Amino acid sequence: MLWIFPGQPLHRESPLPDDDDFLAIARLCRERCGYDLVSHQALSAHGLSPHTMLQVYGVAMSLYRSRKLRHDGLHPDLIAEHSLGVYAALAACDSIGEGDALELVCRIGSSMAGMGQRQPYALGCPIGIDRGVVEQAAAEAGVFVANYNTSGHFLLAGVATGIEAALAACQAAGAFSVSQFPCEAPLHTPLMAELAGELAAIVADYCFQEPAIPLLEHIGQTRLSAAIIPAFLVTELQQPVYWEQTWQTVRTIGFNRCIEVGSGQALTKFNRWIDSEVCR
């Protein structure tokens, strides 16, 4: 069985659970992050940005659902991760504890929030257009392809004006739809090198154990070891997420049963899209 961990959700789910497992994760959020999972509020007037709280929320829900699955007697043979889903995935394979996973994404999110105070960044999502066209539009606008989710679903990241220009070019080239969202940092682009030293110092505060369950990373589709996890957590924010390649690798290995462990079903939808093209 494969468990897949999604990245940051676009919004919170409603209603929230209220069982013992959820309450335990909510307590960890308060203690380790200064974040109230129930009210979706920072516990300090000088606390977390909205984007950072959403990142912590995403990891918290993945941790909660990991607990529920295990209580139901389900255990993964392989874990794959997408973007910020890596923190919950590390906890799921016993490389770090749940509290450390929450605190780590909180501290990294807070560091990234500072970028948005210096420069307006945005994400752009063109759908239904070829990869080459998207890459050309991004390059000409001075932005980057951050996520290669399927052959026709991409996420761009960069300066807001560049994202707007790239999406306009994609739309003119025949994209089925385009959408733009504000963000605090251009995740999965070379622009994140600005924070590399600061992020490396944060990651160095944590001890990573050898994953008890194989963990497949989203760049080169290799298995993460304890020795390379710290460097990966810094460099992966500077490189794109190749989810289509990750899912194809999983299929090649022979995994057919997959559970998305987190908020929403974005990765499950991407997987269906990728599988449908294989079957044509």
Q: What angle (nearest 5°) sits at the alpha carbon of residue 23, between those of residues 19 and 25? A: 120
Q: What does the alpha-carbon distance between residue 276 and residue 265 come to, in Å, rounded to a whole number? A: 17
What are the strands of the beta sheet with 2-5, ordered from one edge?
215-216, 78-81, 2-5, 258-260
Rounded Cα distance between 272 and 114, Å, is 36
What domains sit in the chain, N to C, each tagged with a CATH number? 2-118+190-278 (3.40.366.10), 121-183 (3.30.70.250)
Q: What is the pLDDT along the chain (280 residues), one digit of tens a residue?
A: 999 999 999 888 889 999 999 999 999 999 999 999 999 999 986 689 999 999 999 999 999 999 999 999 999 999 999 999 999 999 999 999 999 999 999 999 999 998 978 899 999 999 999 999 999 999 999 999 999 999 999 999 999 999 999 999 999 999 999 999 999 999 999 999 999 999 999 999 999 999 999 999 999 999 999 999 999 999 999 999 999 999 999 999 998 889 999 999 999 999 999 998 865 5
Per-residue pLDDT, 67: 97
pTM of the model: 0.95
Residue of 3, 210, 2, 185 whose CA lies nearest to 88? 3
pLDDT of residue 116: 79
Residues 6+ away with beta carbon under 8 Å from 185: 112, 113, 115, 116, 121, 192, 195
- Per DSSP, 1 falls in state -
Q: How far apart are CA 44 and CA 42, in angstroms?
A: 5
Q: Which residue is listed with tokens 């066209």?
A: 133
